[in-house]
Structure formats: C-alpha cells, structure tokens
C-alpha cells in the first residue's frame, strides 16, 4: 500500500455485459493486495437489459460503499451513452475509458427517439485523454466476444497501483478452468492497449 488515498472506480454499462464479474474481480484483487474494499451495485433487474453501475472503492480504510458524486477517479463504461448517464460521478481530474459500442435502448430500437450523435466527440471535448476502444471487436478477434470485460480490466489495471500478478491470481481462482487462458490473454491485451 503506497498511501492513504481511496481509489474510486465506477464501472457502468448494460445488464449482461459482464460488469458485475469485472467489478467482483477488481474487488477481490484490491482485497488480495491488502486494501480495505467496499463495492456496490444495483443489479436487481440487471439481467433485463437495464442500465447497470458498479462502484468499487479501495484504500487503507473505506467508509461508504458508494462513490460520492464527483469523486470517481476512473469511469469505465462498456457502452457509449451509459458514459454520459454517469458522467457527473467523475471528478475533474478523473480518467475515462469508453467502449465504442452502442446498445440501443427501447425508445431507440422502436424508432421513437434517436441515439444521441457523436457521443465519443462529446466525451473527448470534456476529457481529451479519454481512452476509446472497440473492446467487443477486439474480444471477438481473440476468439471469444465474452472477454471484453476482462480486456477492460487489463486497461484499468494500468491506471491503478496493483501488480498484474494479483489480477492473474484472482482470475485463475475465480474463473472456470477452461476460461482461464483466454481471459489471461484478454487481460494482457488490455494492458498492452492502455500502454
């Protein structure tokens, strides 16, 4: 543990994208590293395609399980407009990692409302160094579209101070044996993309 600060990571997206798994792994990694950890997510109806957010907080001592609005150090978003929905949680100095993916909400796929235009441009105008990537395409290219979440975990790990080995250990213990290799590959792919 390098200091007394509390790290605030907010992971958002749509139910079914593997957000809870990614945040569970991050929580376990932080605990393994010796940090106090709290995390919270609203997942009651997550499987039904609703908006999902997961708050992960770790440091020497953590009180609240949810991040105070405006204090997220990292906003990791698995879907374009979900980034905007949770944007006010981000601190002025916060980092943004965005999946360049649109998942159409009901009002859009039924033709009642348009999907907002140039979401990525709007994010970049506020956070010029926002990291934008097509994680689902990269995952598909690796042979398993389901590992986009772990690619992002790899990206995220470059912004935090916990060694890669700790993530590897937790991934090995958490995942089914046949999924370990592809996920470790995905994790390191993510790390290389963040570099």
Partner 1 sequence: MKELMSGNEAIARGAYEYGVRLASAYPGTPSTEILECIGALYPEIRAGWAPNEKVALEVAAGSAYGGSRSMAIMKHVGLNVAADPFMTLSYTGVNGGLVIVVCDDPEMHSSQNEQDTRNYAKFGKVPCLESSDSQEAKDMVGEALLISENFDTPVILRSSTRISHSMSLVETKTRSEGPKELGLKKDPMKFVMLPAMARRRHPIVEQRLKDVAAFAETFPFNKIIMGDTSLGIISSGVNFQYAREVAPSASFLKLGMVWPLPVKMIKDFASRVKRLVVIEDLDPFIEEAVRLMGIAVEGKELTGICSELSPEKVEIALTGASSARSIGPIDVELPLRPPNMCPGCPHRATFTALKKNKVYVSGDIGCYTLGALPPLGMLDHCLCMGAGIGIASGLDRSLGDLAKGKAVAVIGDSTFFHSGMTPLLELAYNGGSTTVVIMDNRTTAMTGAQNHPGTGFTLRLDPTITADIEKLAESFGFKRIRTVNPYKVRELEKIVSEELEAPEPSLIISRAPCALLKTDRILIDKPYDIDKDVCKGCKSCINTGCPALEFVKIEEPAEGEKRKGFSKINPALCVGCGTCYEVCKFDAVKEAS
Q: Of 136 and 191, which has the nearer Cβ to partner 1?
A: 136
By the rule CB under 8 A, 189 interacts with partner 1? no
- In DSSP terms, 13 is beta-bridged to 52
- Contact code string over 46-75 relative to partner 1, x by CB under 8 A: xxxxxx----------xxxxxxxxxx----
Q: How far apart are CA 92 and CA 100, in angstroms?
A: 22
**CA-closest candidate to residue 12, choices 107, 81, 115, 68:** 81
By the rule CB under 8 A, 120 interacts with partner 1? no
| Beta carbons within 8 Å of 84's beta carbon, 6+ residues apart | 116, 119, 122, 123
Q: Of 50 and 137, which has the nearer Cβ to partner 1?
A: 50
Binding partner 1 by CB under 8 A: which of 53, 77, 94, 190? 94
Q: Of 46 and 186, which has the nearer Cβ to partner 1?
A: 46
Q: How far apart are CA 165 and CA 171, in angstroms?
A: 10
By the rule CB under 8 A, 144 interacts with partner 1? no
Shortest distance, CB of residue 3 to partner 1, whole angstroms?
17
Instruction: Give the burial class of 13: count Cβ atoms within 10 A of its Cβ; 0-12 exposed, 13-18 middle, 19 or more buried.
Output: buried
Instruction: Give the burial class of 29: count Cβ atoms within 10 A of its Cβ; 0-12 exposed, 13-18 middle, 19 or more buried.
Output: buried
Where does this chain bind partner 1 (CB under 8 A)?
14-15, 24, 27-28, 31, 36-51, 62-71, 81-82, 84-85, 87-94, 104-113, 115-116, 119, 122-123, 126-127
């Amino acid at each position: 543990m390098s200091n007394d600060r509390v790290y605030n990571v907010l992971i958002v997206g749509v139910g079914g994208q593997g957000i809870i798994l990614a945040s569970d792994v991050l929580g376990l990694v932080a605990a393994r590293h010796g940090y106090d950890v709290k995390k919270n997510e609203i997942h009651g109806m997550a499987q039904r395609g609703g908006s999902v957010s997961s708050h992960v907080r770790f440091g020497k001592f953590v009180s609240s399980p949810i991040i105070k609005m405006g204090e997220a150090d990292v906003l990791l978003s698995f879907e374009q407009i979900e980034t905007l929905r949770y944007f006010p949680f981000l601190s002025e100095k916060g980092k943004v990692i965005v999946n360049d993916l649109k998942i159409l909400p009901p009002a859009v796929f039924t033709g009642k409302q348009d999907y907002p235009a140039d979401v990525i441009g709007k994010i970049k105008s506020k956070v010029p160094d926002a990291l934008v990537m097509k994680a689902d395409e990269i995952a598909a290219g690796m042979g398993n579209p389901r590992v986009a979440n772990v690619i992002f975990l790899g990206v995220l790990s470059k912004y935090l101070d916990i060694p890669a080995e700790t993530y590897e250990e937790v991934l090995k213990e958490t995942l089914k044996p046949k999924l370990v290799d592809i996920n470790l590959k995905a994790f390191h792919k993510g790390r290389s993309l963040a570099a």
